[in-house]
Amino acid sequence: MSKPGTGPESGGKSGEPFIQLLTPAGVRVADPHFDQWLADIDGDRLQGLYQDMVTVRRIDLEATALQRQGELALWPPMLGQEAAQIGSGRALAPEDFVFPSYRDTGVAWCRGAEYADLVKVWRGNAPSSWDPYRLNMAPMQIIIGAQTLHATGYAMAAKFEGAETATVTYFGDGATSQGDMNEAMVFAASFQAPVLFFCQNNQWAISEPVRVQAQRPIADRPPGFGIRSLRVDGNDVLACLAATRESLERVRSGAGPCFIEAVTYRMGPHTTADDPTRYRDPNELEDWRTRDPVDRLGAYLQSEGLFGEEFRDQVRAAADAAAAGLREACTSLPEPGGLEVFDHVYSGPHAVLERQKDHYSRYLAGFEAAEGGR
């Protein structure tokens, strides 16, 4: 274990230790325990992780641009959290089930989300995107912390069925203050539920630094509930991958719930509606830029001779294609129809709602007739 470079971002006292396998400069640090979880990560896979990270960063930037251009109503950038999301996301098995938060674009990418899936909600076309049963991933959650209970319940059910699947839930540092998140730990511990709590401590909950939420590192909290906890460098994709794999293995083997605090940084605004210059020191951002998760892996690839021009061209092309795909998918989303609001409120007939729908469709018809008549 090594120490993070700097101060108040740690969610407690500065310099709290965490798991780091790749230094900010891209130097590989050996770790007797976690290295075994990277045994299969050869050059190709390393390059794959890099391409993933660049691609999701590009998707994120493109979505931000789409918002600026009025194509999206809002976008929550994940800029800076690529290692946490790709590292953990690539550790998951397809049959694992994920309960994410709104900022987990990178995780959705790993789960195979289509371009339209990434923007549909933010364009305001639909209340959620992907098919949860195709991706094995629940709709993203906006109510802070609520999904941690869903994950725990899903894991309890899986355990009661005797399945060897893991459930993973993603949430932020701010979410750790919510009652639901703490109740989720109580239930997970009590039922030894096969769930992994993955906290992206990106140092901020909108304008509030993590010290408002936590006086100790977040990873210190789960052990008091009887939950095994790791603190990892969330800008180190290898540490995130190894720690998640290791934790998932424990979870699947029936050793009970696990918790990971990935120490990372939200390099962008909270959402495109936010203006971080109102509340945070620009030096802090500069400082974190020196620990950029993408550059870091790039430097390591370089040092390993895996960063040739051909590879870089391929990465660039993949990112360009993703950006173009995202834009195309976004702007060609069909407008929802007026009566769609009545769909799926219930799984079956509901007399009161049907009457409202009937009345509204008559109203719309009458209205259109009147408009047409003008």
Ligand X SMILES: Cc1ncc(C[n+]2csc(CCOP(=O)(O)OP(=O)(O)O)c2C)c(N)n1
In the region spanning residues 97 to 116, those forming contacts with ligand X, defined by CB under 6 A, are 103
* 79 touching ligand X, by CB under 6 A: no
What track of x and - describes contact with other proteins for positions 256 through 285 (by CB under 8 A)?
-----------------xx---xx------
**What string marks each residue from 27 to 56 as x (binds other proteins by CB under 8 A) or -?**
------------------------------
Spatial separation of the C-alpha atoms in residues 11 and 27, rounded to whole Å: 25
**Closer Cβ to a second copy, 89 or 174, answer by number:** 174
214-244 b/e (C-beta count within 10 Å ≥ 16 → b) = beebbbbbbeebebbbbbbbbbbbbbbbbbb
Measured CA to CA, the distance from residue 35 to residue 41 in angstroms comes to: 10
CB 278 within 8 A of CB 294: no
Among other proteins, ligand X, a second copy, none, what binds residue 204 when CB lies within 5 to 8 Å by partner kind?
ligand X
Query: Residue 349, Cα to own-chain centre: how many angstroms?
Result: 36
Count of residues engaged in binding Mg ion, rule: CB under 5 A: 4
Separation between Cα atoms, residue 317 and residue 324, nearest integer Å:
10
Tell me whether residue 47 or residue 201 sits nearer to a second copy (CB atom): 201
The interface partner of residue 44, options being a second copy, ligand X, other proteins, none and the CB cut-off 5 to 8 Å by kind, is: none
Please report whether residue 220 would count as binding other proteins according to CB under 8 A.
no
CB 233 within 8 A of CB 244: no
Strands 167-172 and 195-201: parallel
Choosing from 215, 277, 290, 356, the residue that interacts with a second copy (CB under 8 A) is: 215
The entry of other proteins, ligand X, Mg ion, none that residue 366 binds, CB within 5 to 8 Å by partner kind? other proteins
- Helix (H) / strand (E) element for 117: namely helix 115-123
Interface pick for a second copy out of 166, 214, 248, 263 (rule CB under 8 A):
214
Binding mask 164-203 for a second copy (x = CB under 8 A): ------------xxxxx-xx--x--xx-------------
Q: Give the interface segment with other proteins, choosing from 48-56, 120-128, 256-264, 320-328 (CB under 8 A).
A: 120-128
Nearer to ligand X, 103 or 291 (CB): 103
Q: Which does residue 223 touch among other proteins, a second copy, Mg ion, none (CB within 5 to 8 A, set by kind)? A: a second copy
Nearest Cα to 268, choosing from 5, 60, 97, 14? 60
DSSP, collapsed to helix, strand or coil, labels residue 99 as: strand
What are the tokens at 248?
């998932």
Which one of residues 50, 75, 204, 259 is an interface residue with ligand X (CB under 6 A)? 204
Q: Which is nearer to other proteins, 157 or 321 (CB)?
A: 157
Q: Closest separation between CB of residue 81 and ligand X, Å?
A: 8
What is the Cα Rg of the chain in Å?
22
* Residue 148 Cβ vs a second copy, minimum distance, rounded to whole Å: 11
Extract the tokens encoding 118. Answer: 């990434």
**Interface mask toward a second copy for 303-342; x: CB under 8 A:** ----------------------------------------
Which residue bears the tokens 């990270």? 53
Q: Which of 273, 241, 145 minimizes the C-alpha distance to 197?
A: 145
Following DSSP, what letter does each residue of 169-232 receive, concatenated?
EEEETGGGGSHHHHHHHHHHHHTT--EEEEEEE-SEETTEEGGGT-SS-GGGHHHHHT-EEEEE
The answer to whether 294 and 50 have CB atoms below 8 angstroms apart is yes
Binding residues vs a second copy (CB under 8 A): 12, 176-180, 182-183, 186, 189-190, 211-216, 220-226
Binding residues vs Mg ion (CB under 5 A): 172-173, 202, 205
